[in-house]
Structure 1
Amino acid sequence: MLASIHDVSPRSHAQVDRLAHLLERHTGTGRFAMLVIPDHWREAPIEGNAAFGTQLRAWADAGIEMFLHGWCHRDETPATQGFAGFKGKHMTAGEGEFLNLPHDEALARMARGKALLEDVLGRPVAGFIAPAWLYGEGAHAALRELGMPLAEDHMKVWRPASGEVLSRGPVVTWASRSKGRIASSLAFARLARTALPLALPTLRLAVHPGDTTVPALMDSIDQTLARFVRSHRPARYADLARSARGPG
């Protein structure tokens, strides 16, 4: 079982800390990932924030995997037509940063974020996961050029360099921004607790700072973690990569 906390930044520090304690109760120390935004909506830069940098290093030292999660998490090049426009409108609240970025800009943001985060952490990032799990062609090319070890979207985890898919299956996540999305995510989590452990060798679960504002979502996350760890061992993304590589 792979668990992750999205949207980690100085603006979400308290909520991330609460989610980390919840995950640790089920997975143990350090057996989950954090997805870090270098400058959340260009309002919460990590650069120059010594206190938050110290906290990120402490989390990483405890074994938590650190993924780069875009640069600002805001879609500054929104599409208005076609399938890209549909995804940008209906799959995220204006946060699909890498869905429509041209290649050069995607590469620049990804490279800058990688360098910044690795400087703060003192170690390589575990990989890159695009905001809202949405990638355009420019983002896919940038992933390959930078040699990012791992990436994931809604339905899979893969190695960008080779395209090798390491795991398939939907990620279980929750949405807090409307009553309708709260209800639908609670319903999907109930279904997932019953069906997915029987169907998938690898389960993925992702939580967001906004989840902490809705008690029903926190209860659902707690119940889903409790069910998943009964059948699937909490692990790191690096464990998945090693097991796919095989002995030696």
Structure 2
Amino acid sequence: MAGSEKLLLSSIHDVSPRFEREVDRLTERIERATGSARFAMLVVPDHWDRAPIAADPAFQRRLRDWADAGVEMFLHGWRHRDDRPSGFRARHLTAGEGEFLHLGQAEAERRLVEGRKLLEDVIGRPLTGFIAPAWLYGDAARTALTALSFPLAEDHFRVWRPADNAVLARGPVISWASRSPARIASSLAFAGLARAALGPQRVVRVALHPGDTGVPALLRSIDRTLRRFARTHRPAGYADLVREGARAAV
């Protein structure tokens, strides 16, 4: 990859049988706006204990088909739910979904091991990495990722390699929130600012969620954002950051 080449990393969060229809809509949106099928899916093995992928052979086949078509697969927690949300980040940055924020190391490792085995058995290949629900990690979760040699991880402001903590990309994730009118308004404002300000960024990350599909204004903003960056940044995969040894350049 040329040193000056800019990359667009698009992702769909909360991929689960609970949101299959919404995932399909977001997949179509990314492909239409960017002209590419290069994007990532963040998969939850049993979203809120209501949608176990292990018991859904039809959804397993869909995941395998997506992976065969080149979609990158990340483990995205185990259940996407924090049973004891406390502290500023847990209360204000997510609606009780910071699953890996308060786990001890042993429990974090257990969920990481079981989630990786389940999904890799389903898709028939290694996962690209792990991204915590709501991008929230406790210290124990970070230690567990390093101990288990996950190839990539991501939070709100960086992509890194847990094995040695090397930062592969920096910059804020562009995402949208649909939980309240105030959050909708603020995410629309941030996306507009990002379209104007992040053009020089070498790596731009755009993250979509199932809830986005229920708000037309968010969908319009998503389309504008994807189209804008697809003009200047090559739609790419997270694995490109590893293969090419990319580092963030603002």
- How does the TM-score come out when normalised to structure 1? 0.95
Cα offset for 1:29? 4.3
- Matches of 1:91 and 1:48 in 2, distance apart? 31
Q: Does 1:43 align with 2:50?
A: yes
Cα offset for 1:36? 0.1
Cα offset for 1:245? 6.2
State the percentage of identical aligned residues.
Answer: 63
Q: What SS is found at the alignment partner of 1:154?
A: coil
Deviations 1:106-162 (A, max 9, x none): 110111100000111111111000000000011101101111000000000000001
Where does residue 34 of structure 2 map in the other structure? 27
Where does residue 82 of structure 1 map in the other structure? none
Where does residue 147 of structure 1 map in the other structure? 149
Deviations 1:164-214 (A, max 9, x none): 00000000000001000000000000000000012x111000000000000
Where does residue 222 of structure 1 map in the other structure? 223
Change (3 A) 1:167 1:245: closer
Q: What SS is found at the alignment partner of 1:231?
A: coil
Change (3 A) 1:181 1:53: same
- Matches of 1:245 and 1:132 in 2, distance apart? 25
Cα offset for 1:28? 3.7
Where does residue 78 of structure 1 map in the other structure? 85
Q: Residue 186 of structure 2 is aligned with which of 167, 184, 187?
A: 184
Q: Does 1:161 align with 2:163?
A: yes
Where does residue 172 of structure 1 map in the other structure? 174
- Matches of 1:191 and 1:30 in 2, distance apart? 26
Where does residue 4 of structure 2 map in the other structure? none
Number of residue-to-residue matches in the alignment: 240
- Matches of 1:19 and 1:13 in 2, distance apart? 10
Q: 2:30, 2:37 within 8 Å by CA — same for their partners in 1?
A: no
Where does residue 5 of structure 2 map in the other structure? none
- Matches of 1:185 and 1:228 in 2, distance apart? 17
Q: Residue 114 of structure 1 is aligned with which of 111, 116, 120?
A: 116
- Matches of 2:157 and 2:246 in 1, distance apart? 20
Cα offset for 1:244? 1.4
The AA in structure 1 aligned to 2:82 is: D
Q: What SS is found at the alignment partner of 1:76?
A: coil
- How does the TM-score come out when normalised to structure 2? 0.94
- Matches of 2:134 and 2:244 in 1, distance apart? 27
The AA in structure 1 aligned to 2:64 is: R
Give 5+ residue unaligned stretches, structure 2.
1-7
The AA in structure 1 aligned to 2:18 is: R
- Matches of 1:78 and 1:215 in 2, distance apart? 30
CA RMSD of superposed structures (Å): 1.1
- Matches of 1:164 and 1:103 in 2, distance apart? 21
Q: Does 1:52 align with 2:80?
A: no
Name the one with the larger helix percent. 1
Q: Does 1:89 align with 2:91?
A: yes
Bigger RCO (CA 8 Å, 6+ sep)? 2
Where does residue 203 of structure 2 map in the other structure? 202
- Matches of 1:126 and 1:58 in 2, distance apart? 16
The AA in structure 2 aligned to 1:72 is: R
Q: What SS is found at the alignment partner of 1:203?
A: strand
Give 5+ residue unaligned stretches, structure 1.
80-84
